Amino acid sequence: MAGILSLQYKQVPGNKKENILKVTDMLSANTDKVLDLVVLPEFFSTGICDEMYTTPENSDGGETVKAVSMLAKKYKTNIISGTVIEKDGDKLYNTMYVLDREGKIIGKYRKIHLFAYMGGTEDKALTPGDREVIIDLDFARVGLSICFDIRYPLHHRKLAQSGAEIIVSPSAFSYPASLSDEDKTAFVNTWRALNVTRATENLVYFISSNLFGKSYPYLYSIGNSMITDPWGRVLADAKEEETAIYADISLAAGKEIRKVYPACHIS
């Protein structure tokens, strides 16, 4: 069995110190559990704000990822360090860093599918990544996905074809506050359905960590972080709360499902 923790919280826009303190407090409150992997949201240290573009981190994640590295080492857990805006040369990327139990960066993934809809301008400020990434942790092969990537099934199929047992999705999945109540409900239902679909169509554990609450003057991050098993069962569900969700997952059971179930013949 492996212990998975996913954090969901209301960010303080632009305040890296306060947001990292939230991560620290939530993690320290869950150290009574077996922690093999902790997943943080997209833009975990800044929320969605103009400052994330004007104060990017360097190519090793800067002081932000260094702070998370110290937590990984302190609690002897692997951490998916959400995402930060990374500056490399004259380009900016939305980048996820993966830290091992010693706090070392063992890989990173630059978001491929940038959000350019409903007022989103991520594609104007950032350069898309150019490759899918799988990381070999000490207990599982983990495929990397960020927020809007969830709408692209072939991204996740490639990760599964490369042997991913778990796929993680740090997210800031948000809707414009101007949506009707009916459309807001549909938006949330779509997010939840995508979590289940990406898990069951690829026979992997799918772990999302989403921001929650008002995240920009006209945006609302929907929360609903989930841990979903290869059968599509939701093992843990944050719904619309500021909370950490936890599940013990069986990688052996996942492997058995892929052996016997026809959908495992991924093509």
Q: What is the pLDDT of residues 139-196, one digit of tens each?
A: 999 999 999 999 999 999 999 999 999 999 999 999 988 899 999 999 999 999 999 9
The DSSP secondary-structure symbol of 147 reads G
Contact indicator for 59, 86 with CB cutoff of 8 Å: yes
Alpha carbons within 13 A on the beta-carbon side of 21: 5
Which residues have CB under 8 Å from 242's CB, separation 6+? 8, 9, 10, 212, 213
pLDDT in tens, 193-242: 999 999 999 999 999 999 999 877 778 999 999 999 999 999 999 999 99
- The single-letter code of the amino acid at 236 is A
Nearest CA among 83, 3, 41 for reference residue 224: 41
Q: Output the CATH code of domain 2-264.
A: 3.60.110.10
Domain residue ranges of the chain, discontinuous segments joined by +: 2-264
Which residues have CB under 8 Å from 29's CB, separation 6+? 244
Neighbour count for residue 222 (Cβ, 10 Å): 24
Strands 166-171 and 205-210 come out as: parallel
